[in-house]
Amino acid sequence: MNTVTTGDSIHVLDDRAAQVWTKGSSKEFACDRKSTAGAVTQRACAFCGSRVVLYPIADALHIVHGPIGCAVYNWDIRGALSSGPQLHRNSFSTDLAEKEVIFGGEKKLKASLIELIEFYKPKAAFVYSTCIVGLIGDDVEAICKQVTQMTGIDCIPVDSPGFKGTKKSGYQAACEAAYKLVGTAKTDGIKKHSINLMGEFNIAGEAWMIRKYFERIGVQVVATITGDGRVDDLRRCHGASLNLVQCSGSMTHLSKLLEDKHGIPMKRVSFFGFEDTAQALYDTAEHFGDSEMMDKAEALVREEIAKYAPRIKAYKKQLKGKKAALYVGGAFKAFSLVLALRALGMQTVLAGTQTGNAEDYEQLKEICDPGTVIVDDSNPLELAKFVLEKDVDLFIGGVKERPIAYKLGVAFCDHNHERKIPLAGFEGMLHFADEVARSVLSPVWKFAPRRSLHMKTNLNPGND
């Protein structure tokens, strides 16, 4: 397979050369492309993307129409804590086998939906189409309509066969499915100063922390979409005055639908790190033009930073000069992580995302230091080689990146679906600093194989 070489030991496929860029380079950077065949991308399929977006709606029934392996693949893929119902934690599947593939699975889907709805009495049901369903042509939408009429429970098809594209396509399918519930309930009791918190998935309780910040400054949170989500909140979210979009990759499509159809403006925000969290609160107060709200926001920020800043400063002394690599799904995480690591005295030498667009990468280029390698839709071999070349002390990513770090003897922090520690808000920044310090400064790395030795032996092209 043809490759090009950048640096001493980095080999990148020809077709991907434009998706790897170093700050200070004059060459053009490319993104928003389909994954290169044979590159073993870290991206997930469209079905997985739709599932992780809708999964945290806790009082809905989620059923995967397809082989059992599809349901297993992303079962409980997000922590998605719920303050009440736990129905979302079940990974129901029609378990299509050879018989259904040949003769069709519509009867099985209908029977499964009726049985599950009668037993669990959910607020709504989401039915996910997988690759095999797209191939055999089951009319999932028709079955959903029939069951809705029979049971009175909204059954919503999620058109997400994996072969339709990348996780981005799954995000869009999820947004369109969620939007079918919007506007189906009254908006009584919603205040003028109200928001929808979008793209927050409450992996470790972050949505609860953020909601309290807004309550303290006098803002009502109508719906969190989709962390600790509720069907009834989604039905009336069109009554909010502002959408705050955190994970722009997953929620931009829904926010645009709400803006186009209901006139709700959107602001992109982040709640990771002192700076971004404070800015999100200030932007909200400024949007509503309420001086009292701004005063409350400023007081809240002063109080919270005073509480945690001294301990962050102590960690900064220990971590100053350490180098970090990060590879995340959405670009908004990358922006916040670069700033948060800089606040800890660390330098980001590698930054990449799975789903960033041109605008995202321009922003990432601006905030990164000279010499930082920026990659789009990378793969394990590329990531491993860049980590070694830059001799990083910490790798931040998700479950698929963890083995790369540990095999190279590099500290790792999970910033994705499986973590148990809340990282949002002011308190979350302290948790992040603590986890980074414990990981990077652990004495265990004294016993790990030298990274330079790995670079010379295990990772040379053609070396078994």
In a domain, 288, yes or no: yes
In a domain, 463, yes or no: no
Q: Assess contact for 161 and 46: CB atoms under 8 A.
A: yes
Pairwise CA distance, residues 100 & 87, whole Å = 26
In a domain, 186, yes or no: no
Pairwise CA distance, residues 422 & 205, whole Å = 6
Note whether 276 and 328 are same-domain residues: no
Note whether 230 and 329 are same-domain residues: no
**Whole-number pLDDT of residue 243:** 98
The model's pLDDT over 307-333, given as tens digits with 9 standing for 90+, comes to 999 999 999 999 999 999 999 987 878
The last residue of a domain, from among 178, 210, 241: 178
Position of tokens 């652990």?
Answer: 442
The alpha carbon of 204 is separated from its chain's Cα centroid by a whole number of angstroms, namely: 13
Q: Assess contact for 158 and 50: CB atoms under 8 A.
A: yes
Note whether 97 and 124 are same-domain residues: yes
5, pLDDT greater than 50? no
CATH number of the domain within which 376 lies: 3.40.50.1980
The model's pLDDT over 241-295, given as tens digits with 9 standing for 90+, comes to 999 999 777 899 999 999 999 999 999 999 999 999 999 999 999 999 999 999 9
Average pLDDT over residues 337-360: 92
How many domains are contained in the chain? Answer: 3
Note whether 88 and 153 are same-domain residues: yes
In a domain, 464, yes or no: no
**Whole-number pLDDT of residue 75:** 76
**Whole-number pLDDT of residue 333:** 83
Give the C-alpha distances (Å, rounded to integers) separating 49 from 172, 229, 244.
9, 17, 20
The last residue of a domain, from among 178, 212, 243: 178
Note whether 57 and 17 are same-domain residues: no
SS3 labels along the chain:
CCEEEECCCEEEEHHHHHHEEECCCCCCCCCCCCCCCCCCCCCCEHHHHHHHHHCCECCEEEEEECCHHHHHHCCCCCCCCCCCCCHHHCCEECCCCHHHHHHCCHHHHHHHHHHHHHHHCCCEEEEEECHHHHHHCCCHHHHHHHHHHHHCCEEEEECCCHHHCEHHHHHHHHHHHHHCCCCCCCCCCCCCCEEEEECCCCCCCHHHHHHHHHHHCCCEEEEEECCCECHHHHHCHHHCCEEEECCHHHHHHHHHHHHHHHCCCEEECCCECHHHHHHHHHHHHHHHCCHHHHHHHHHHHHHHHHHHHHHHHHHHHHHCCCEEEEEECCHHHHHHHHHHHHHCCCEEEEEEECCCCHHHHHHHHHHCCCCCEEEECCCHHHHHHHHHHHCCCEEEECCCCHHHHHHCCCEEEECCCCCCCCCCHHHHHHHHHHHHHHHHCCHHHHHCCCHHHHHHCCCCCCCC
The model's pLDDT over 71-82, given as tens digits with 9 standing for 90+, comes to 988 777 677 899
pTM: 0.89
Q: Measure CA of the first residue to CA of the last residue in the chain; give whole Å.
A: 17
Note whether 162 and 198 are same-domain residues: no
Mean pLDDT of the chain: 90
Q: Assess contact for 248 and 225: CB atoms under 8 A.
A: no
Note whether 359 and 407 are same-domain residues: yes
Is the sign of the CA dihedral 134, 398, 55, 231 positive or negative?
negative
The model's pLDDT over 6-54, given as tens digits with 9 standing for 90+, comes to 444 557 778 888 889 898 888 888 887 888 877 788 888 889 889 989 9
Note whether 103 and 172 are same-domain residues: yes
The last residue of a domain, from among 153, 178, 203: 178
Nearest in space to 50 (alpha carbons), one of 139, 224, 179: 179
Model confidence band, residue 67 (pLDDT cutoffs 50, 70, 90): very high
The model's pLDDT over 75-133, given as tens digits with 9 standing for 90+, comes to 776 778 999 999 999 889 999 999 999 999 999 999 999 999 999 999 999 999 999 99
449, pLDDT greater than 80? no
Q: Which domain holds residue 224?
A: 194-301
- Of the chain, the percentage scoring pLDDT greater than 70 comes to 93
Note whether 74 and 159 are same-domain residues: yes
In a domain, 314, yes or no: no
Residues in the chain: 464
Is the sign of the CA dihedral 443, 447, 452, 455 positive or negative?
negative
Note whether 26 and 69 are same-domain residues: no
In a domain, 64, yes or no: yes
56, pLDDT greater than 80? yes
Q: Assess contact for 294 and 285: CB atoms under 8 A.
A: yes
| Residues with Cβ within 8 Å of residue 420, at least 6 apart in sequence | 79, 204
Model confidence band, residue 183 (pLDDT cutoffs 50, 70, 90): very high
In a domain, 138, yes or no: yes
Note whether 286 and 380 are same-domain residues: no
Position of tokens 């793969």?
Answer: 379
Note whether 67 and 150 are same-domain residues: yes
Pairwise CA distance, residues 282 & 287, whole Å = 8
In a domain, 343, yes or no: yes
The model's pLDDT over 205-244, given as tens digits with 9 standing for 90+, comes to 999 999 999 999 999 999 999 999 999 999 999 999 999 9
